[in-house]
């Protein structure tokens, strides 16, 4: 179990009176969302879920807010031909998010933040958030925010400053995810496989907006790709630690603003 000092930040370790008091105090409730899907031959299936959960826990402790257990499964059918990938259908994922958020609203929380660790989840988090506002805003008068951790204010700039590879090195099972996994879960990295990977530069990168249009043409297969997008060969535990600390620091700045009500600068529609 984590250090007892963190019990007051982790919803799963708290008692219901502690949770009621946290809600009464107006704490931000952080919900991490990830996936269980292939990450090449060198990394485990849990990269997205474990990484975002660990980041969210560190942010909750640093800012004094509350983090829920992670939503482990996401919208990952694009990797369905890779054994072990477990995914939810888009509408199922959306409904799971809505039900979980509604339960937290019933518990008294009014500042919801969903921290995402799997890119395709974002499209359905947007739809879920809009539905929640449409259905329940008048009842609960709440705010809901969501973002992938690499898209949070200031994170892209830090990743660019700290990276070893050039643009295109950060995509999937890439420089960033491999570095974070070597740092956070070193026992699960297959270094012999990592040494055999051939980098594949991407037309997009974590530090840039994804180019449009979004094109689907069926499902990718292990017959044509190992599932790596980017350059994991320049990854290291040192980079992973630097990435992790920078990400936690930048997200914590936002969470403290959100908790204090000083979030007008983040709002587009006023």
What are φ and ψ of residue 143, in 5° steps? -120, 150
Domain ranges of the chain: 4-264
Report the 10 Å Cβ neighbour count for 33: 30
**In contact, 209 and 151? CB cutoff 8 Å:** no
Average pLDDT over residues 187-207: 90
Structure tokens at 133: 């506002």
Q: In the numeric block, which tokens belong to residue 93?
A: 């994922």
Classify 74 as helix, strand or coil. Answer: strand
Number of other CB atoms surrounding residue 260 within 10 Å: 10
Does pLDDT of 3 surpass 80? no
What is 4-264's CATH number, 1.10.3720.10, 3.30.428.10, 3.40.50.300, 3.40.50.10310?
3.40.50.10310
| The pLDDT of residue 262 is above 60 | yes
Q: Are 117 and 176 in contact (CB under 8 A)?
A: no
Report the interhelical angle of 47-63 vs 175-184 (nearest 10°): 70
What integer pLDDT is reported at residue 7 of this predicted model?
83
pTM of the prediction? 0.96
DSSP run (H or E) holding 115: strand 111-116
Q: What's the pLDDT at 101?
A: 98
What tens digit of pLDDT does each residue of 234-256 get?
999 999 999 999 999 999 999 99
Indicate whether 227 pLDDT > 60: yes
The residue among 160, 27, 178, 159 whose CA lies nearest residue 104 is 27
- Reading the block at residue 17, the tokens are 């009176």
Mean pLDDT of 257-267: 94
Name the region of 10 (left: φ>0; alpha: ψ -120 to 50; beta: rest).
beta
The band of 218, judged by pLDDT with boundaries at 50, 70 and 90, is confident
Q: Which two tokens stand for residue 90?
A: 């888009």
Average pLDDT score over the chain: 95
Straight-line distance from the first to the last Cα atom of the chain, in angstroms, rounded to the nearest whole number = 43
pLDDT-derived band at 1 (thresholds 50, 70, 90) equals very low
What b/e readout covers 60-76, taking b as 16+ CB neighbours within 10 angstroms? Answer: bbebebbbbebbbbbbb
Provide the H-helix boundaries in the chain.
16-24, 47-63, 90-106, 121-140, 155-162, 175-184, 191-194, 237-260
* Dihedral sign computed on CA atoms, order 200, 204, 206, 212: negative
Confidence of residue 172 (pLDDT cuts 50, 70, 90): very high
Query: What is the per-residue pLDDT across 71-125, written as a single tens digit (0 to 9) for each?
Result: 999 999 999 999 999 999 999 999 999 999 999 999 999 999 999 999 999 999 9
Residue 123, token pair as written in the block: 């499209």
DSSP state string for 7-57: GGGBGGGS-HHHHHHHHHTT-EEEEEE--B--BTTTB-TTHHHHHHHHHHH
pLDDT category of residue 26 using cuts at 50, 70 and 90: very high
Q: pLDDT at residue 143 above 90? A: yes
**Percentage of residues in the chain having pLDDT higher than 90:** 87
Which whole-number Å values give the CA distances from 103 to 27, 109, 219, in the listed order? 15, 9, 35
């Amino acid at each position: 179990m984590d250090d007892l000092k963190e019990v007051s930040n982790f919803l799963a370790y708290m008692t219901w009176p502690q949770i009621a008091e946290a809600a009464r105090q107006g704490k931000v409730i952080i919900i991490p969302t990830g996936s269980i899907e292939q990450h090449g031959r060198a990394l485990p299936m849990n990269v997205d879920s474990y990484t975002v959960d660990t980041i969210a826990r560190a942010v909750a402790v640093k800012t004094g807010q509350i983090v829920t257990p992670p939503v482990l499964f996401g919208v990952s059918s694009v990797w369905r031909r890779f054994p072990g990938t477990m995914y939810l259908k888009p509408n199922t994922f959306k409904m799971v998010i809505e039900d979980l958020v509604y339960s937290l609203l019933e518990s008294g929380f009014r500042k919801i933040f969903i921290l995402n660790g799997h890119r395709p989840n974002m499209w359905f988090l947007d739809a879920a958030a809009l539905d929640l506002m449409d259905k329940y805003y008048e009842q609960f008068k709440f705010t809901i925010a969501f973002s992938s951790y690499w898209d949070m204010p200031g994170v892209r700039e830090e990743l660019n400053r700290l990276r070893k590879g050039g643009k295109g090195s950060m995509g999937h099972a890439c420089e960033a995810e491999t570095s974070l996994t070597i740092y956070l879960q070193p026992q699960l990295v297959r270094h012999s496989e990592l040494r055999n990977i051939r980098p594949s530069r991407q037309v997009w990168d974590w530090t840039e907006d994804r180019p449009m249009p979004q094109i689907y043409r069926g499902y990718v297969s292990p017959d044509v790709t190992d599932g790596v997008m980017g350059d994991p060969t320049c990854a290291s535990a040192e980079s992973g630690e630097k990435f992790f600390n920078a990400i936690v620091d930048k997200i914590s700045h936002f969470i403290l603003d959100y908790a204090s009500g000083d979030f007008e600068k983040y709002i587009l529609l006023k």
